[in-house]
Amino acid sequence: MSYTEIEYVVEQSVLTIRLNRPEKLNALTMTMIDELCDAFCQASQDDQIGVIVLTGNGRAFCAGADLGLVGDTFNANNPDSFMARAAPQSESNWYEPRDPGGVLALAIYDCHKPVIAAINGPAVGAGAAMTLAADVRYISESAIIGFVFSRRGILPDCCSSWFLPRIVGMGYAQDWVISGRLVEAEEAARSGLVNAVHPPDEVLTAALAWAKVVADQCSGVSAVVARKMLDYNQILADPASAHNVESRGQHLAGMSADAAEGVAAFLEKRPARFTGKLEGKILKYFNELTC
Protein backbone atom coordinates (compact mmCIF):
# COMPACT_ATOMS: atom_id res chain seq x y z
CA MET A 1 0.00 0.00 0.00
CA SER A 2 1.39 3.40 -0.95
CA TYR A 3 0.88 6.17 1.60
CA THR A 4 -0.37 9.68 0.83
CA GLU A 5 -1.30 11.01 4.29
CA ILE A 6 1.39 9.45 6.48
CA GLU A 7 5.15 8.99 6.22
CA TYR A 8 6.78 5.62 6.95
CA VAL A 9 10.55 5.69 7.49
CA VAL A 10 12.73 2.93 8.96
CA GLU A 11 16.22 3.77 10.26
CA GLN A 12 18.37 1.43 12.35
CA SER A 13 15.47 -0.80 13.47
CA VAL A 14 13.26 2.16 14.43
CA LEU A 15 10.16 2.93 12.37
CA THR A 16 8.95 6.52 12.49
CA ILE A 17 5.34 7.03 11.38
CA ARG A 18 4.43 10.67 10.82
CA LEU A 19 0.89 11.94 10.35
CA ASN A 20 1.30 14.08 7.25
CA ARG A 21 -1.49 16.60 6.78
CA PRO A 22 0.26 19.52 8.49
CA GLU A 23 -1.89 22.14 6.76
CA LYS A 24 -4.94 20.53 8.42
CA LEU A 25 -3.19 19.97 11.78
CA ASN A 26 -2.98 16.28 10.82
CA ALA A 27 -6.74 15.87 11.22
CA LEU A 28 -7.83 12.29 10.62
CA THR A 29 -9.48 11.18 7.41
CA MET A 30 -10.59 7.68 6.52
CA THR A 31 -7.60 7.54 4.16
CA MET A 32 -5.20 8.37 6.99
CA ILE A 33 -6.82 5.82 9.30
CA ASP A 34 -6.60 3.12 6.65
CA GLU A 35 -2.96 3.97 6.01
CA LEU A 36 -2.12 3.93 9.73
CA CYS A 37 -3.82 0.56 10.22
CA ASP A 38 -1.89 -0.84 7.26
CA ALA A 39 1.39 0.63 8.57
CA PHE A 40 1.06 -0.93 12.02
CA CYS A 41 0.05 -4.28 10.50
CA GLN A 42 3.01 -4.17 8.12
CA ALA A 43 5.39 -3.24 10.93
CA SER A 44 4.17 -6.17 13.03
CA GLN A 45 5.41 -8.59 10.40
CA ASP A 46 8.73 -6.85 9.64
CA ASP A 47 11.65 -8.42 11.51
CA GLN A 48 13.81 -5.40 10.65
CA ILE A 49 11.67 -3.16 12.86
CA GLY A 50 12.21 -3.19 16.61
CA VAL A 51 10.27 -0.15 17.85
CA ILE A 52 7.76 2.32 16.41
CA VAL A 53 7.65 6.09 16.99
CA LEU A 54 4.35 7.82 16.13
CA THR A 55 4.36 11.59 15.67
CA GLY A 56 2.96 14.39 13.53
CA ASN A 57 4.41 16.71 10.93
CA GLY A 58 4.06 20.44 11.48
CA ARG A 59 2.93 22.19 14.63
CA ALA A 60 0.22 19.70 15.69
CA PHE A 61 0.15 16.03 16.55
CA CYS A 62 -3.46 15.49 15.49
CA ALA A 63 -6.57 17.67 15.62
CA GLY A 64 -8.89 14.65 15.70
CA ALA A 65 -11.40 13.80 13.02
CA ASP A 66 -11.43 16.24 10.12
CA LEU A 67 -14.75 17.99 10.75
CA GLY A 68 -14.43 19.97 7.53
CA LEU A 69 -14.70 17.00 5.20
CA VAL A 70 -18.45 16.48 5.44
CA GLY A 71 -21.36 18.13 7.17
CA ASP A 72 -22.34 15.15 9.32
CA THR A 73 -18.92 13.78 10.20
CA PHE A 74 -20.23 11.16 12.64
CA ASN A 75 -23.71 10.46 11.22
CA ALA A 76 -23.85 6.86 10.00
CA ASN A 77 -26.77 7.79 7.74
CA ASN A 78 -24.46 10.06 5.78
CA PRO A 79 -22.62 7.87 3.21
CA ASP A 80 -19.58 10.18 3.40
CA SER A 81 -19.23 10.11 7.19
CA PHE A 82 -16.67 8.38 9.40
CA MET A 83 -19.32 5.95 10.65
CA ALA A 84 -20.93 5.07 7.32
CA ARG A 85 -18.93 2.04 6.37
CA ALA A 86 -18.11 -1.18 8.14
CA ALA A 87 -14.47 -1.55 9.03
CA PRO A 88 -12.29 -3.99 7.09
CA GLN A 89 -12.13 -7.54 8.36
CA SER A 90 -15.19 -7.01 10.56
CA GLU A 91 -16.83 -10.01 12.19
CA SER A 92 -20.43 -10.78 12.98
CA ASN A 93 -19.95 -10.18 16.71
CA TRP A 94 -18.86 -6.58 16.15
CA TYR A 95 -21.31 -3.71 16.30
CA GLU A 96 -21.68 -2.25 12.83
CA PRO A 97 -20.66 0.25 11.71
CA ARG A 98 -17.49 0.21 13.78
CA ASP A 99 -15.80 3.34 15.10
CA PRO A 100 -12.82 3.88 12.75
CA GLY A 101 -10.77 5.41 15.58
CA GLY A 102 -11.28 2.24 17.59
CA VAL A 103 -10.14 0.14 14.65
CA LEU A 104 -6.96 2.26 14.58
CA ALA A 105 -6.44 2.01 18.35
CA LEU A 106 -6.74 -1.77 18.17
CA ALA A 107 -4.23 -1.87 15.31
CA ILE A 108 -1.76 0.00 17.52
CA TYR A 109 -2.55 -2.10 20.58
CA ASP A 110 -2.28 -5.39 18.67
CA CYS A 111 1.01 -4.43 16.99
CA HIS A 112 3.87 -6.79 17.78
CA LYS A 113 6.30 -3.92 18.34
CA PRO A 114 6.58 -1.43 21.24
CA VAL A 115 5.08 1.96 20.32
CA ILE A 116 6.01 5.40 21.67
CA ALA A 117 3.93 8.44 20.78
CA ALA A 118 5.86 11.70 20.43
CA ILE A 119 3.07 14.25 20.94
CA ASN A 120 4.73 17.21 19.26
CA GLY A 121 1.74 19.57 19.45
CA PRO A 122 -2.00 19.76 20.11
CA ALA A 123 -3.77 16.38 20.29
CA VAL A 124 -7.54 16.48 20.70
CA GLY A 125 -10.47 14.11 20.26
CA ALA A 126 -9.38 11.01 18.41
CA GLY A 127 -5.97 12.64 18.08
CA ALA A 128 -5.54 12.36 21.84
CA ALA A 129 -7.41 9.09 22.25
CA MET A 130 -5.35 7.20 19.66
CA THR A 131 -2.16 7.79 21.69
CA LEU A 132 -3.62 5.82 24.61
CA ALA A 133 -2.97 2.59 22.71
CA ALA A 134 0.75 3.36 22.61
CA ASP A 135 3.01 1.97 25.32
CA VAL A 136 4.81 5.22 26.15
CA ARG A 137 3.92 8.87 25.52
CA TYR A 138 6.28 11.86 25.41
CA ILE A 139 4.80 15.33 25.02
CA SER A 140 5.97 18.79 24.04
CA GLU A 141 5.76 21.25 26.93
CA SER A 142 3.70 23.54 24.70
CA ALA A 143 1.22 20.86 23.64
CA ILE A 144 -2.33 20.46 24.92
CA ILE A 145 -4.47 17.34 25.04
CA GLY A 146 -8.25 17.27 24.97
CA PHE A 147 -10.81 14.49 25.16
CA VAL A 148 -13.37 16.93 23.77
CA PHE A 149 -16.16 14.53 22.81
CA SER A 150 -18.80 16.10 25.06
CA ARG A 151 -18.14 19.45 23.40
CA ARG A 152 -18.93 17.98 19.99
CA GLY A 153 -22.08 16.15 21.08
CA ILE A 154 -20.49 12.73 20.60
CA LEU A 155 -19.00 9.99 22.82
CA PRO A 156 -15.47 8.69 23.45
CA ASP A 157 -13.82 6.72 20.66
CA CYS A 158 -10.53 4.93 19.99
CA CYS A 159 -11.31 2.55 22.88
CA SER A 160 -10.47 5.49 25.17
CA SER A 161 -13.17 4.55 27.69
CA TRP A 162 -11.11 1.39 28.31
CA PHE A 163 -7.59 2.83 28.08
CA LEU A 164 -7.90 6.17 29.83
CA PRO A 165 -9.08 5.05 33.31
CA ARG A 166 -6.44 2.34 33.34
CA ILE A 167 -3.70 4.86 32.63
CA VAL A 168 -4.71 7.83 34.79
CA GLY A 169 -7.42 6.49 37.11
CA MET A 170 -11.13 7.20 37.13
CA GLY A 171 -10.81 10.63 38.76
CA TYR A 172 -8.81 12.23 35.97
CA ALA A 173 -10.68 10.28 33.30
CA GLN A 174 -14.10 11.46 34.48
CA ASP A 175 -12.93 15.06 34.83
CA TRP A 176 -11.42 15.23 31.37
CA VAL A 177 -14.08 13.29 29.48
CA ILE A 178 -17.14 14.86 31.12
CA SER A 179 -15.85 18.43 30.89
CA GLY A 180 -14.01 18.06 27.60
CA ARG A 181 -11.54 20.65 28.87
CA LEU A 182 -8.03 21.03 27.48
CA VAL A 183 -5.19 19.54 29.51
CA GLU A 184 -1.73 21.11 29.52
CA ALA A 185 1.47 19.08 29.42
CA GLU A 186 2.25 19.55 33.12
CA GLU A 187 -1.10 18.11 34.22
CA ALA A 188 -0.78 15.29 31.68
CA ALA A 189 2.56 14.34 33.24
CA ARG A 190 1.26 14.67 36.81
CA SER A 191 -1.62 12.31 36.03
CA GLY A 192 0.63 9.67 34.46
CA LEU A 193 -0.92 10.15 31.02
CA VAL A 194 2.51 10.96 29.59
CA ASN A 195 5.89 9.65 30.67
CA ALA A 196 7.95 12.78 30.01
CA VAL A 197 7.66 16.44 28.99
CA HIS A 198 10.24 17.97 26.65
CA PRO A 199 10.80 21.29 24.88
CA PRO A 200 9.00 21.40 21.51
CA ASP A 201 12.17 20.87 19.48
CA GLU A 202 13.33 17.94 21.65
CA VAL A 203 10.26 15.74 22.09
CA LEU A 204 10.80 13.69 18.92
CA THR A 205 14.54 13.40 19.57
CA ALA A 206 13.84 12.09 23.06
CA ALA A 207 11.29 9.59 21.76
CA LEU A 208 13.71 8.35 19.12
CA ALA A 209 16.41 7.96 21.78
CA TRP A 210 14.07 5.81 23.91
CA ALA A 211 13.16 3.77 20.84
CA LYS A 212 16.82 3.23 19.96
CA VAL A 213 17.65 1.97 23.46
CA VAL A 214 14.80 -0.55 23.31
CA ALA A 215 15.66 -1.63 19.75
CA ASP A 216 19.38 -2.04 20.54
CA GLN A 217 19.36 -3.45 24.06
CA CYS A 218 16.11 -5.37 24.56
CA SER A 219 14.64 -8.59 23.23
CA GLY A 220 11.76 -7.57 20.99
CA VAL A 221 9.89 -10.72 21.97
CA SER A 222 10.35 -10.08 25.68
CA ALA A 223 9.27 -6.46 25.32
CA VAL A 224 6.04 -7.09 23.44
CA VAL A 225 4.96 -10.13 25.50
CA ALA A 226 5.70 -8.31 28.77
CA ARG A 227 3.57 -5.40 27.55
CA LYS A 228 0.66 -7.77 26.94
CA MET A 229 1.16 -9.40 30.35
CA LEU A 230 0.95 -6.01 32.08
CA ASP A 231 -2.40 -5.33 30.42
CA TYR A 232 -3.83 -8.80 30.90
CA ASN A 233 -2.89 -9.13 34.56
CA GLN A 234 -4.91 -6.03 35.47
CA ILE A 235 -8.10 -8.09 35.17
CA LEU A 236 -6.89 -10.84 37.51
CA ALA A 237 -8.28 -11.07 41.01
CA ASP A 238 -5.09 -11.66 42.98
CA PRO A 239 -1.29 -11.90 42.70
CA ALA A 240 -1.43 -15.70 42.73
CA SER A 241 -3.29 -15.59 39.42
CA ALA A 242 -0.64 -13.27 38.02
CA HIS A 243 1.98 -15.70 39.31
CA ASN A 244 0.44 -18.44 37.18
CA VAL A 245 0.55 -16.23 34.08
CA GLU A 246 4.13 -15.20 34.76
CA SER A 247 5.27 -18.74 35.51
CA ARG A 248 4.04 -20.01 32.17
CA GLY A 249 5.55 -17.08 30.32
CA GLN A 250 8.86 -17.38 32.12
CA HIS A 251 8.97 -21.11 31.37
CA LEU A 252 8.46 -20.49 27.64
CA ALA A 253 10.84 -17.53 27.49
CA GLY A 254 13.48 -19.37 29.47
CA MET A 255 13.77 -22.00 26.73
CA SER A 256 14.38 -19.37 24.04
CA ALA A 257 17.58 -18.39 22.31
CA ASP A 258 17.05 -14.81 23.49
CA ALA A 259 17.22 -15.91 27.14
CA ALA A 260 20.48 -17.76 26.52
CA GLU A 261 21.89 -14.76 24.66
CA GLY A 262 20.84 -12.30 27.36
CA VAL A 263 22.65 -14.23 30.06
CA ALA A 264 25.72 -14.85 27.89
CA ALA A 265 25.98 -11.18 26.95
CA PHE A 266 25.79 -10.15 30.60
CA LEU A 267 28.48 -12.63 31.68
CA GLU A 268 30.73 -11.73 28.76
CA LYS A 269 30.18 -7.99 29.33
CA ARG A 270 29.13 -7.31 25.74
CA PRO A 271 25.98 -6.00 24.03
CA ALA A 272 23.33 -8.65 23.50
CA ARG A 273 22.41 -9.68 19.97
CA PHE A 274 18.79 -10.79 20.21
CA THR A 275 17.37 -12.66 17.23
CA GLY A 276 14.15 -14.14 18.65
CA LYS A 277 10.85 -13.95 16.78
CA LEU A 278 7.29 -13.97 18.03
CA GLU A 279 6.35 -17.42 16.82
CA GLY A 280 5.53 -20.94 17.95
CA LYS A 281 4.57 -21.50 21.59
CA ILE A 282 5.43 -17.96 22.69
CA LEU A 283 3.16 -16.52 19.97
CA LYS A 284 0.34 -18.80 21.13
CA TYR A 285 0.89 -17.59 24.68
CA PHE A 286 0.94 -13.95 23.48
CA ASN A 287 -2.36 -14.40 21.63
CA GLU A 288 -3.99 -15.91 24.71
CA LEU A 289 -3.19 -12.78 26.74
CA THR A 290 -6.32 -10.92 25.68
CA CYS A 291 -8.45 -8.63 27.81
For residue 87, the model assigns a pLDDT of 47
Domain presence at residue 166: yes
Grade residue 69 by pLDDT with cuts at 50, 70 and 90.
low
DSSP secondary structure string for all residues of the chain: ---SSEEEEEETTEEEEEE--GGGTT-B-HHHHHHHHHHHHHHHT-TT--EEEEEESTT-SB-SB-TTS-SSTT-TTSTTSTTSSPPTT--TTS-SSPPHHHHHHHHHHT-SS-EEEEE-S-EETHHHHGGGGSSEEEEETT-EEE--GGGTT----TTHHHHHHHHH-HHHHHHHHHH--EEEHHHHHHHTSSSEEE-TTTHHHHHHHHHHHHHHHS-HHHHHHHHHHHHHGGG-SSHHHHHHHHHHHHHHHHTSHHHHHHHHHHHTTS-------S-HHHHHHHHH---
For residue 78, the model assigns a pLDDT of 61
Q: Identify the weakest region by mean pLDDT among 82-86, 196-200, 253-257.
A: 82-86
When pLDDT is averaged across residues 94-123 and rounded to a whole number, the result is 91
Do residues 98 and 90 lie in contact, with contact meaning Cβ atoms separated by under 8 Å? yes
For residue 84, the model assigns a pLDDT of 56
For residue 1, the model assigns a pLDDT of 83
Domain presence at residue 31: yes
Domain boundary among 168, 192, 215: 215
Domain presence at residue 279: yes
pLDDT in tens, 165-197: 999 999 999 999 999 999 999 999 999 999 999
**Closest of 153, 35, 176 to residue 103, by C-alpha:** 35
As for how many domains the chain has, the answer is: 2
Q: Are residues 153 and 200 in the same domain?
A: yes
pLDDT in tens, 212-249: 999 999 999 999 999 999 999 999 999 999 999 999 99
Grade residue 91 by pLDDT with cuts at 50, 70 and 90.
low
Domain presence at residue 1: no
Q: Is the dihedral of CA 76, 81, 85, 91 positive or negative?
A: negative
**Statement: residue 74 has pLDDT above 90:** no
Domain boundary among 215, 230, 259: 215
pLDDT in tens, 149-164: 999 898 999 999 999 9
Q: Are residues 204 and 225 in the same domain?
A: no
Domain presence at residue 144: yes
Q: Are residues 149 and 168 in the same domain?
A: yes
Q: What is the CATH number of the domain that holds 36?
A: 3.90.226.10
- CA–CA dist 59, 109 (Å, integer): 26
Domain presence at residue 152: yes
Q: Are residues 91 and 202 in the same domain?
A: yes
Q: Are residues 50 and 194 in the same domain?
A: yes
Query: Does 281 or 90 have the greater pLDDT score?
Result: 281
Domain boundary among 158, 193, 215: 215
Domain presence at residue 232: yes
Q: What are the φ/ψ torsions at residue 145 (nearest 5 degrees)?
A: -125, 140
**Owning domain of residue 229:** 218-288
For residue 75, the model assigns a pLDDT of 60
Q: Residue 14 pairs with which residues in a beta bridge?
A: 11, 51
